[in-house]
A and B are shown apart, each in its own frame.
Chain A
């Protein structure tokens, strides 16, 4: 068991009891939707409409609706794909990696972050599917025998690895998220008043009754899922980066891509988690659960991964010079000073320079500044993908085919449309599902609100000078169940 730290801030503030936690989280699910939620949903649905219209144009008239040309055959579609997949990574990182590292602060944000992962991957998946031009033949990417013979898919291709990586990632994240939701669905089921809610949440809660053995197995499953999801997160973005790195295009053919892309993914993912959490905590009045301390911790992760990304940018330049390959050197000089200089410098400003402000304590703990910063980082990371893809493609080995890329209205429509899709799904999630993992927050309440647990059957040696009186009572001692210490 853990001792109470005299230096760390509490994870749940406001002196909540277990019942308060249930009340605070269920309030949103049980109450009628408020005006702000309805307004936000209307805006999201409007953008979803734009998405559907753009998809209709793309499918009916073909990929010619996009701004692609003979040199730049991949632009906003792959940019948006990589951007969305990257955003998804923070969710798994919070739920899996921080679980393995025993970071208790993850408990109040993991549910929403995992939901964000699922929805971001759905948005990401739209782009490769639409880019096929004939999405009704999308099943061709799976190892099924080709309709025209016995030809199989090519397992040597990173694009096929992507199919396996993204679909595995999506289904594993979904299972992880759902298993985490089951005990909370049971809580809502047992409080439900309406007949529809009673049956719906009973079905969703899968006969969960919270028995000791079920909890024991549940924790084992969570831990193993976290254990397999952790390398999975790294593998997914590594494979996405290999789509580029295994080619011979100058600016893409680099060994730094896998770690660089993974760091970028975590960077943009944490920025998106921050954006969503800052809104969620205010709209749903969850300030006691998502505290300033949480925001500061997420800011720190964002700053560290942002710095890794910054080092990667500089390394790319160094390697271009050090390799003495003139095409590589040209590609990088062209990025910084060529026709897309503005995109390059936007990326540099947003991703490398601004996040360094997080070193300042006042910025780290400021809600408005964090909000602005998180949006700047998301913009910067979008530019990063755009710079990598478009600047490398628009001037390749053959100067006669050099071209510029400009997006069509449909390109823009699909991109802002996926934002609509994402926020529609997120808002529906926030209304009907518990946004905070109640069961897990209840497990960490004791470490923060009271003076820690009193059961000391296996307690470790305590070094804290701040020990509550009850800690250290041997298990065989008479029970002090009145607990008015």
Chain B
């Protein structure tokens, strides 16, 4: 589906942050903001909720820990019990290192995979970007232009008055 966007290009992240607040205060919905690096304070300015990834990470870690303990207790305690170095079959202190490592392993990979899925990241031979300069030195505010609802001229004025160095119109075939 083709959508049209008004792109406000900003040169400075501090100007950008004030502009986002003013644009939102003017009742205009911002589609997305693209920046070459994480701008601190943008979450609050855009109203992005705190990520729940840390909660996911905790549960991945818990899975890793349970798996590690099950693995060791089942293998050495039940499936093939052997006394090694005079230790009991289920020698919990000796199981700590492997349990810790698997907790970290599950947390890290689980979270990384979740991050890729929720952020829709996957290898793609051609990536459509709003403005190629947004990965170099420009900050791009994208506002969707809905036919009959939003006026490009008014948006240009709003963006300009809030410090945008240029305002462009762009059509994007997907999202």
Which chain A residues have a beta carbon within 8 Å of chain B's beta carbons? 1, 17-19, 22, 143, 150-158, 160-161, 164-165, 168, 171-172, 175-176, 179, 182-183, 186-187, 189-191, 198-199, 202-221, 224-225, 228-229, 231-232, 235, 239, 242, 438-440, 442-443, 446, 453-455, 457-458, 475, 479, 481, 483
Contacts and interface: CB of A to CB of B under 8 A. Distances in A.
Interface in B7-50: 12-15, 17-19, 21-22, 32-46, 48
Contacts of B13: 446, 453, 455
Contacts of B167: none
Given A191-B136, A210-B36, A455-B13, A225 B108 contact: yes
Given A171-B105, A215-B35, A481 B15 contact: yes
A51 B115 CA distance: 39
Given A175-B108, A209-B130, A217 B91 contact: no
Given A164-B101, A179-B112, A219 B38 contact: yes
B143 interface: no
B111 A224 contact: yes
A304 to B, nearest CB: 26
Contacts of B105: 168, 171-172
Contacts of A160: 98
Main secondary structure of the interface of B (DSSP, over half): helix
Nearest to A224: B57
Contact of B36 (A442, A457, A458): A442
Contacts of B54: 220, 224
Interface of B: 12-15, 17-19, 21-22, 32-46, 48, 51, 53-54, 57, 61, 71-72, 75-76, 79-80, 84-85, 87, 91, 94-95, 97-98, 100-102, 104-105, 107-109, 111-112, 115-116, 118-127, 129-130, 132-137, 162-163
Contacts, number: 229
Contact of B15 (A183, A443, A483): A483
A18 B136 contact: yes
The interface centre, meaning the residue of A18, A232, A483 with most chain B CB atoms within 10 A of its CB, is A18
The interface centre, meaning the residue of B84, B94, B102 with most chain A CB atoms within 10 A of its CB, is B94
A389 to B, nearest CB: 21
Please provide the 9 A-B residue pairs with the shortest distance between their CB atoms, ordered closest to farther. Answer: A481-B163, A18-B137, A161-B97, A190-B132, A152-B75, A454-B14, A479-B18, A215-B38, A455-B14
Given A217-B119, A221-B115, A190 B51 contact: no
Given A215-B39, A479-B163, A483-B15, A209 B34 contact: yes
Contact of B112 (A17, A205, A215, A221): A221
Nearest to A479: B18
Contacts of B116: 206
A232 B119 CA distance: 26
Given A191-B136, A203-B125, A164 B36 contact: no
A479 B22 contact: yes
B48 A239 contact: no
A6 B16 CA distance: 27
A38 to B, nearest CB: 29
Contacts of A457: 17, 41, 44-45
B29 to A, nearest CB: 14
Nearest to A176: B108
A446 B54 CA distance: 29
B101 A1 contact: no
Contacts of A224: 53-54, 57, 107, 111
24 contacts: A1-B41, A18-B137, A155-B95, A161-B97, A175-B108, A176-B108, A183-B135, A187-B36, A190-B129, A190-B136, A203-B125, A206-B116, A208-B121, A209-B134, A211-B33, A213-B32, A224-B53, A225-B111, A228-B61, A232-B101, A443-B40, A454-B14, A455-B41, A457-B45
